[in-house]
Structure 1
Amino acid sequence: MNVIEVENLRKEFKSYSSRSGLKGAFRDLFTRNYKINRAVNDISFTVKQGEMVGYIGENGAGKSTTIKMLTGILTPTSGKVLVNNMNPHKEREKFVRTIGVVFGQRSQLWWDIAVQESFRLLKKVYKVSDQDYNEHMDHVIKTLDIGPLLDKPVRKLSLGQRMRCELAAALIHNPPLLFLDEPTIGLDVLVKLKIREFLKEINAKYKTTILLTTHDIADIEALCERVIMLDEGKIIYDGSLDHLRGNWGKGKQIEFQFASSVDESLLLQLTSGFHVQWMKGDKSNVWIAQIANHEEMPEIISRVMKAQTIVDLSIKEISTEEIIRNIYEKGDANSNLEKVIMNV
């Protein structure tokens, strides 16, 4: 069963520009120059019950705008949206009882009152019975380890503590669908791990559907088997993470640590004729060779070792983060992924 159905969804914003000078300001009183910005450009996708989907893209790609339309905060310019078999912005009151939302940079908890008082208020809003609240939230509070935080005002919590409480608040009514927009932004490693494990648990226990937007690729790798990639408001890839790795993660990375700093031109000269891309490492004497054909590795290593003194060398698979970064950095992510999309 599809929990989310999106067809030709579009969102446009009108932006005004001011003319220069006194004459221009006077003309602006009567006519304004404006242009239409298309934040989301005719996208279509579906999400099935129980899926955990990563929704990724650069800043300004349209991720948050999509989430706001799916949650009923924004009204689409055109297109069809069905979430839990409802129109989010037309059946607002009924619809919000079936979803949970966590925005990493916005809070749904009241700033000056204790966390547990916010929970009680939300319990009333969602009309959750005492029995259901106690049975479900006892487990949530224990798993997220927020028991000691319940009697503290939200303003006195650290970012990691607040985000765990925000996640608990979104689950008070145990919604079948959870939207997470940058839920781990600015959090330390331990808190991130705790949140990831909790999300896996509720997905396994309640078949909770999760749509996750994040710039932390480690979150995607830990939670999602499927990713949807956006670029300039358009979907450029919708498929499995393994398929993306398989098509764009072929090859190896060799990290060379030289005895002294080495110029890139020398490395390019040494490996001329091979399918290799050189990238600067985190130190002046470290260079990383990204090799598409693993059969060329021995000869590349041999040539570099004969010409330069090497202190250390390591070989590793190309990471998912590196794959996605390369796709976007090449300037035209849409054409870069055309081959992938054709093979999905």
Structure 2
Amino acid sequence: MNEKICIYCKEPFDPSRGEGDHVLPIALFGEFAGDVRFRGCCTACNNSFGVYEQILMQATSLGYLRQFAPVRRRGRSPGTRQRGAKGSKAPQHTVRAFGYGQLVSPLTDPRQVQPKDQITICDEAGIEHHVQLFEGMTAGQLKARIRKLGIGNVSSVFCSVTERLAEVFRRLVKEVFPTLTYKALPDTEVGKSTVPGRISFEFSADADRAIGKMAFHYYLTHNQRGYDGSEREFSAIRQYLRHGGNPDSFFGQPGPEFRMPFGEDASGVVWTPSNWCHVLLAYEVEKQIVVYMRLFAGPDHIGEEYQVTLGSIAGKLILPSGIWGHAYLRDDSRADRYDGHVEAVEPERLA
């Protein structure tokens, strides 16, 4: 057996068993031909990262962007609706119409939404709180949901409901707020209209551990120094990924400036690719190890930006080039199981 020692738990395992760790999780980003997988951690540790990846997919902006580039799941239908995960909430979709915010549900195309039966409560500070209403709801249940939100003094309440249950919900709201003055607003016309919208994300900081793991494993699969991740230079990032901690030590640190490989116009505006892609870049110059990621770059969207500082290089070995990168390019026309392919990016186009 070709036995290795896991860089996280230090237990022996057979790296030839299983698929190894995809640098970009298949469930979130898809599978790319030519991808190099990391085989330095055991199955148990690799599976533990799946919890953080689930939060990333079900509760963050990356999961939302995934809906525009659905992942092929080897013959299965790619579910796209975000529902929250592991204590992280599902994204809240609201639109602003008639002077106040209203809850909406995204349709197959998340840019198209439909309204929910709801009340919007405005407190004295002008903060809006949304409570969804459902058929058969009692006054006690509605009061309990309002208490859970911790709303202070109420200044106004807006009730937005469908015509079928309009009278039922009006009586319910009057029972819960008997002292408020009731005023009927004009009914909205049935049909489609364009209104400004907003999506709010509330999720656990463990999602950062999924981002950090991607950066770390990308560097380890492509570095030119032969590092396998067990070196003392990476003790802090290993500890953080396995046990958690302060993400500020790795995210948002001063570092190099990266350029996107798509080009830019004379005014400095960066061009966006015609199809969705992910770009991962690594930098190990002047003893600093940094991985830069631009995820879900695509039509009219520059992508979500992350920069992760992995550590410092202790050795004095000077390499011909300490900068490299790869683009994970989606191709929906492929006839195989892959969502796209991986291409190396020339160093001179990166920094």
Shorter-normalised TM-score: what interval? under 0.3
Structure with greater helix share of residues = 1
TM-score, structure 2 normalization: 0.26
